[in-house]
A and B are shown apart, each in its own frame.
Chain A
Amino acid sequence: MAARRATADTDVSRARRLELPVVGHRPAGRDFVWLVLDAPPDWRSLPGQFVNILCESDAREARASEGRVLDEADGWPETTGLELGGRRAFGRRPYSIARVERRGRQVRLHLLVQVKGPGSRFLGSRPVGSAVDLVGPLGTHFTAPAEDRLPVLVSGGCGLAPIFGLAEWLAEAGRRVVNLFGAATLEAMPLGFSDRPRPTGERLEETASANEFAFRGVATFLATDDGSAGFRGPVTAALETFLDGAGRGEPAALYGCGPKAMLKRLAEIAAERGLACEISLERHMGCGIGVCLSCVAKRRDPGDPRGWTYRLTCRDGPVMDAHEILWDDA
């Protein structure tokens, strides 16, 4: 069940550079912002794909100065801070497409932005009415599991973003979906709950607090490191509890996105139990389009004498088969 190359897929549009208006901006929890962008009607992307966003200035301001010959009265060319840099970001930042919302010809992209550094601070503060310069859709996407497999989605922190779209995509296709989500604390979760989710310690229970997933009929289980909500412990421990308990007897297909340690453990669990597992890998990227060769990860390659080759996360990923990745070097 290796992730397919998106470029070979007719279900996704060719990557292009676009300036998309911000039509929604909603804080989510302590650290996150949901950003909603108005996309062209012909936008087609699949869960797991990403967009590469210019995080240095408003797209319209940037374009105003780009390729234009300035009047003398304009003074020094307005290079949007690049010449002086400051603490502004310089390049683009990859963001998973968390949701594609379609109503007739209206297409909206939902991005989950964890406000952390200069780039995400810029992006997370884009108001409605501004515009975002992005390149996309880029990269590979998740694939649906075999009919007899229960998709079990495992994510941590901002790794929730691609999982959100995957859950929705599978649910819309009529699949039953189990979603396990972990964070350090309840406050660090980007989900909106109808009421405060209960801590359940070592027990794993489907959360009774309505949230974004609940509306889609997806069974959501929460895990927190400090036990402030749901299962106390890493989300991968919650997964094992699920597979040994409620999920026993129903063969699962695993999907994941989150910190490297979490993904590594997820891959181990999948290998131990002989389960298919697709993950979305996070990497710093220079270009996002296969040019700079900076976002490499070691992938098993039986055809290579060393048994591995470097693959590009931006083009051969971000969605990859977890069993193919050399996690100790990843």
Chain B
Amino acid sequence: MSDAQVDLAVTVGKIRMRNPIATASGCSGYGEELAAFYDLGLLGAIVTKSITLEPRDGHPPPRLVETRAGMLNAIGLANVGLEAFLAEKLPALARYDVPVIVNVAGATRDEYVRVARALDAAEGVAGIELNVSCPNVKEGGIEFGVDPKTLGGLVEAVRREVARATLIVKLSPNVTDIAVVARAAVDAGADALSLINTLRGMAIDPWTGRPRLSNVTGGLSGPAIKPVALWMVRRVWQEVASERGVAILGLGGIQFVEDVIEFLRAGATAVAVGTANFVNPETGRTLAEGLGEALRRLGCASPLDLVGRLEVT
């Protein structure tokens, strides 16, 4: 097949992505930081750092530690706050021809609602991704993401305020059955699901006995979590997403083109690159550029041909 026969475009909710490669929240800053290394217009979408109503300092250092084949972080949702984001960060992103998905976190339902309402009204926001799965803050975050009833209530409340932007709910892997919370999110009106957020974990200095993170626990990411993420994408696709026609944005340890193919096959329509940006800031571009060839080899005209496709004999 020739180049022209592979169309990389996919749709997540109402977001038209030129290819299925996005950058993940917390691992691409406010976009500009990665724009120093490549044209963000090469990506399918970018997902910003979590935005909260008020600015947050985040946790004291140490906030991040490398682990085998991965990384633990407890940044604590450090961000500039809604006002500065709308005034400074979002306009800077308008320079790039790429859909912007803004990740939103809150301590209360009302906070999520207010931030989401403001973002839905802002020009240049294609999607709102609800962070209901941050394992690193006491209030809010993951508490919204583990109980299907609480999650459903939150998504419903936000849904009422979000008319224009695509509403994505980012699911936590720190649950007994991710399909249950996925269903609650979709029932409450989510346009799309992203999964997985980090797995809660910790690291200890064996000789001093000190936890390696000031927050004691953190979120594990990187290649170490990829098999878990793949299985959870598969589970949500099978139980909820395929039947309800809801797209999955898959993430967890994606670094190479082969990883993208695996996530598509598990059931993701698009993927997001997180920790790999730290290893190589150009990973997003590398994947966007390499995916076409991989699809050609597989005889696919579109990444959609692979979504959910396993050869199980």
Q: Does B248 contact A (CB under 8 A)?
A: no
Tell me, in angstroms, the Cα distance from A292 to B34 when the chains sit together.
12
Tell me, in angstroms, the Cα distance from A283 to B63 when the chains sit together.
11
B71 in contact with A91 (CB, 8 Å): yes
Q: Does B286 contact A (CB under 8 A)?
A: yes
Q: Does A132 contact B (CB under 8 A)?
A: no
Tell me, in angstroms, the Cα distance from A287 to B257 when the chains sit together.
21
Q: What residue of chain B has the Cβ atom nearest to residue A297's Cβ?
A: B61
B61 in contact with A294 (CB, 8 Å): yes
Q: What residue of chain A has the Cβ atom nearest to residue B74's Cβ?
A: A294
Chain B residues contacting A275 (CB-CB under 8 Å) are: none
Q: Does B91 contact A (CB under 8 A)?
A: no
- Kindly provide the distance from the CB of A198 to the nearest chain B CB, expressed in whole angstroms: 36
Q: How large is the interface on B (under 10, 10 to 19, 20 to 34, 35 or more residues)?
A: 35 or more
Known A66-B286, A292-B73; contact A54-B280, beta-carbon cutoff 8 A: yes
Pick the residue among B33, B69, B71, B280 that contacts A291 (CB under 8 A): B33
Q: What residue of chain A has the Cβ atom nearest to residue B292's Cβ?
A: A69
Query: By CB atoms of chain B within 10 A, which of A17, A87, A294, A310 has the most?
Result: A294
- Kindly provide the distance from the CB of B147 to the nearest chain A CB, expressed in whole angstroms: 29
Pick the residue among B36, B58, B68, B281 that contacts A293 (CB under 8 A): B58
Q: What residue of chain B has the Cβ atom nearest to residue A56's Cβ?
A: B279
Tell me, in angstroms, the Cα distance from A301 to B24 when the chains sit together.
31
What 0/1 readout, one digit per residue, does chain B (258-291) give for beta carbons within 8 Å of chain A?
1000000000000000000111111000110110
Pick the residue among B34, B60, B62 that contacts A284 (CB under 8 A): B62
Tell me, in angstroms, the Cα distance from A86 to B69 when the chains sit together.
8
Tell me, in angstroms, the Cα distance from A82 to B71 when the chains sit together.
12
Pick the residue among A67, A84, A89, A290 that contacts B289 (CB under 8 A): A67
Chain A interface residue count, CB cutoff 8 Å, equals: 42
Pick the residue among A67, A135, A293 that contacts B286 (CB under 8 A): A67
- Kindly provide the distance from the CB of A286 to the nearest chain B CB, expressed in whole angstroms: 4
B75 in contact with A287 (CB, 8 Å): no
Chain B residues contacting A17 (CB-CB under 8 Å) are: 37, 280-282
Q: What residue of chain A has the Cβ atom nearest to residue B212's Cβ?
A: A284
B33 in contact with A90 (CB, 8 Å): no
B256 in contact with A296 (CB, 8 Å): no
B37 in contact with A296 (CB, 8 Å): no
Chain B residues contacting A329 (CB-CB under 8 Å) are: 60
B33 in contact with A289 (CB, 8 Å): yes
B78 in contact with A293 (CB, 8 Å): yes
A86 in contact with B68 (CB, 8 Å): yes
Q: Does B223 contact A (CB under 8 A)?
A: yes
Chain A 80-96 interface residues, beta-carbon cutoff 8 Å to B: 82-87, 89-92
Q: What residue of chain A has the Cβ atom nearest to residue B294's Cβ?
A: A69
- Kindly provide the distance from the CB of A18 to the nearest chain B CB, expressed in whole angstroms: 11
A77 in contact with B258 (CB, 8 Å): yes
Chain A residues contacting B73 (CB-CB under 8 Å) are: 286, 292, 294
Pick the residue among A85, A290, A292 that contacts B64 (CB under 8 A): A292
Tell me, in angstroms, the Cα distance from A17 to B290 when the chains sit together.
18
Tell me, in angstroms, the Cα distance from A17 to B286 when the chains sit together.
13
Q: What residue of chain B has the Cβ atom nearest to residue A77's Cβ?
A: B258
- Kindly provide the distance from the CB of B183 to the nearest chain A CB, expressed in whole angstroms: 32
Chain B residues contacting A289 (CB-CB under 8 Å) are: 33-34, 36-37, 281
- Kindly provide the distance from the CB of B29 to the nearest chain A CB, expressed in whole angstroms: 4
Q: Does B66 contact A (CB under 8 A)?
A: yes
Q: Does A209 contact B (CB under 8 A)?
A: no
Tell me, in angstroms, the Cα distance from A286 to B61 when the chains sit together.
12
Q: Does B70 contact A (CB under 8 A)?
A: yes
Chain B residues contacting A90 (CB-CB under 8 Å) are: 66-71, 222-223, 279
Tell me, in angstroms, the Cα distance from A182 to B128 when the chains sit together.
53
Chain A residues contacting B286 (CB-CB under 8 Å) are: 66-67
Q: What residue of chain B has the Cβ atom nearest to residue A83's Cβ?
A: B223
Q: Does A70 contact B (CB under 8 A)?
A: yes
Pick the residue among B33, B224, B294 that contacts A85 (CB under 8 A): B224
A91 in contact with B66 (CB, 8 Å): yes
Chain B 8-44 interface residues, beta-carbon cutoff 8 Å to A: 26-29, 33-34, 36-37
Chain A residues contacting B65 (CB-CB under 8 Å) are: 284
B36 in contact with A15 (CB, 8 Å): yes
Tell me, in angstroms, the Cα distance from A83 to B70 when the chains sit together.
9
Pick the residue among A56, A69, A286, A294 that contacts B293 (CB under 8 A): A69
Tell me, in angstroms, the Cα distance from A68 to B289 when the chains sit together.
10
Q: Does A106 contact B (CB under 8 A)?
A: no
Q: Does A295 contact B (CB under 8 A)?
A: yes
- Kindly provide the distance from the CB of A5 to the nearest chain B CB, expressed in whole angstroms: 14
Q: Does B138 contact A (CB under 8 A)?
A: no
A287 in contact with B277 (CB, 8 Å): yes
User: Interface of B with A (CB < 8 Å)?
Assistant: 26-29, 33-34, 36-37, 49, 57-58, 60-71, 73, 75, 78, 222-224, 255-258, 277-282, 286-287, 289-290, 293-294, 297
> Would you give 26 A-B contacts (Cβ < 8 Å), ordered by A?
A67-B289, A69-B294, A77-B258, A82-B222, A85-B68, A86-B68, A90-B66, A90-B69, A90-B70, A90-B223, A91-B279, A92-B279, A135-B281, A286-B278, A287-B277, A291-B34, A291-B278, A292-B27, A294-B61, A294-B62, A294-B73, A296-B58, A296-B63, A297-B61, A310-B57, A329-B60
